[in-house]
């Protein structure tokens, strides 16, 4: 798997969103705004949907699992890069977390229709490039690239 | 299949964005797990679910789904209906169960998605 690094070259537009822990009522707002912005830039519908899935799953993960975090979107001439960072608690076993069906989600998350253990595998599936790094008690960083 | 026909077949009540009922959908997917909906639904699909929270509307929005059919007589709260209207997503509700609704629609020619 690739390592996480932020590529600051050729960024035409940057979007930044803070996502708050346990804020289920607003979960999805950032992804909705990202999708609307990209739609205005006339990005192909199929790509738009893949980016929307990637950001939405990430946003839900931040709400469910993290102590809070950020989603940054770099719009570039040849791709869209999505950077997701949180401030903990970190993933104990990334390989297991990437396995379809594995979940540590709470009952509240499950009531909302999540916690099926599909989030991370799904994010990887819709990305052309995917990198995840996590350290216990520090946090998790994910980079997803969707190419035009 | 036209959403109008679906409404008649399952005897549904329209809760939001009735103006869109003339639209056509090609397939359907039934699930209460939004993660699975996000993982498998790719085409222009009717979402059939018993879950009525905001995340159902958000999931439909992300996937460009036109319509959601709630089963088991579930009616979402007003803020969920408002979000659906804003996103132009048709919401319908039927008293039937997910299994029964799926059978009724399948018999009438609506197919599932390929996984």
Region B88-103: mean pLDDT is 98
In this structure, what are the phi and psi dihedrals at residue A2, rounded to the nearest 5 degrees? -75, 160
* pLDDT score of B71: 98
**pLDDT-based confidence at residue A115 (cuts at 50, 70, 90):** confident
Q: What is the arithmetic mean of pLDDT over A47-68?
A: 96
Task: Report the pLDDT averaged over residues A63-72.
Answer: 96
Residue A51 pLDDT greater than 90, yes or no: yes
Contact A84, A131 (CB under 8 A): no
Cβ–Cβ below 8 Å for B35 and A121 = no
The reported pLDDT for the residue numbered B115 is 85
Structure tokens at A113: 């229709």
In this predicted structure, the answer to whether residue B49 has a pLDDT above a threshold of 80 is yes
Measured between alpha carbons, how far is residue A10 from residues A35, A50, A75 in Å? Answer: 21, 22, 9
Confidence of residue A112 (pLDDT cuts 50, 70, 90): confident
The two structure tokens encoding residue A78: 């040849």
Confidence of residue A2 (pLDDT cuts 50, 70, 90): confident
If we measure between CA atoms, which residue out of B115, B76, B91, B99 comes closest to residue A118? B115
pTM score, whole prediction: 0.93
What's the CA gap between B82 and B54, in Å, rounded?
10
State both tokens at A136.
Answer: 């216990």
What's the first-to-final CA gap in chain A, in angstroms?
Answer: 21
From the number of C-beta atoms within 10 Å of its C-beta (0-12, 13-18, 19+), residue B20 rates as middle
Which pLDDT band holds residue A1 (cuts at 50, 70, 90)?
low
Residue A124 has pLDDT above 80, yes or no: yes
Average pLDDT over residues B17-46: 93
> Does pLDDT of A24 surpass 90?
no
**Can you tell me the ipTM of this complex?**
0.90
Asked if A122 and B63 come within 8 Å (Cβ–Cβ), the reply is no
Mean of the pLDDT values across residues B26-33? Answer: 96
Query: Residue B55: which of A35, A112, A116 has the nearest Cβ?
Result: A112
Q: Residues of chain A whose C-beta is under 8 A from some C-beta in B?
A: 24-25, 27-28, 31-32, 35, 45, 49, 52-53, 56-57, 60, 111-119, 121-122, 125
- pLDDT tens per residue, range A72-98: 999 999 999 999 999 999 999 999 999
CA-based nearest residue to B47, from B63, B18, A27, B86: B63
Q: Does CATH place domain B3-112 in 3.30.420.480?
A: no
Pairing relationship of beta strands A129-135 and B90-93 according to DSSP bridges: unpaired
- pLDDT band of residue A14 (cuts 50, 70, 90) is very high
Q: Which residues of A touch B61 (CB under 8 A)?
A: 28, 32, 35, 52
Contacts of A113 in chain B (CB under 8 A): 32-35, 37, 49, 51, 53, 55-56, 59
Structure tokens at B108: 């009438």
Please choose, from the candidates A64, A35, A113, the residue with its C-alpha nearest in 3D space to the C-alpha of residue B56.
A113
Q: Is the pLDDT of residue B36 over 70?
A: yes
Going along chain A from its start, the domains and CATH numbers come out as 13-147 (3.30.565.10)
């Amino acid at each position: 798997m690739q390592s996480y690094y932020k590529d600051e070259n050729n960024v035409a537009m940057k979007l930044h969103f803070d996502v708050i822990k346990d804020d289920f009522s607003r979960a999805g707002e950032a992804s909705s705004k990202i999708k609307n912005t990209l739609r205005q830039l006339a990005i192909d519908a199929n790509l738009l949907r893949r980016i929307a899935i990637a950001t939405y799953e990430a946003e839900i993960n931040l709400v469910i699992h993290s102590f809070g975090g950020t989603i940054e979107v770099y719009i570039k001439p040849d791709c869209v890069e999505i950077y997701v960072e949180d401030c903990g608690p970190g993933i104990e076993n990334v390989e297991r977390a990437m396995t379809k069906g594995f979940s540590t989600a709470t009952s509240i998350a499950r009531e909302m229709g999540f916690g099926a253990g599909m989030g991370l595998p799904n994010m990887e599936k819709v990305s052309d490039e995917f990198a995840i790094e996590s350290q216990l008690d520090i946090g998790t960083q994910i980079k997803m690239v969707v190419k035009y | 299949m036209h959403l109008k026909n679906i409404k008649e077949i399952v005897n549904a009540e329209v809760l939001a964005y009735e103006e869109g009922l003339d639209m056509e959908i090609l397939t359907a997917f039934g699930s209460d797990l939004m993660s699975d909906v996000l993982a498998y639904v790719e085409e222009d699909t009717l979402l059939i679910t018993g879950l009525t929270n905001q995340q159902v509307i958000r999931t439909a929005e992300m996937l460009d789904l036109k319509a959601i059919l709630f089963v088991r007589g579930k009616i979402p709260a007003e803020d969920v209906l408002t979000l659906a209207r804003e996103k132009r997503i048709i919401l319908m509700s039927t008293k039937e169960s997910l299994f029964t609704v799926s059978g009724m629609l399948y018999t009438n020619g609506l197919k599932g998605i390929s996984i």
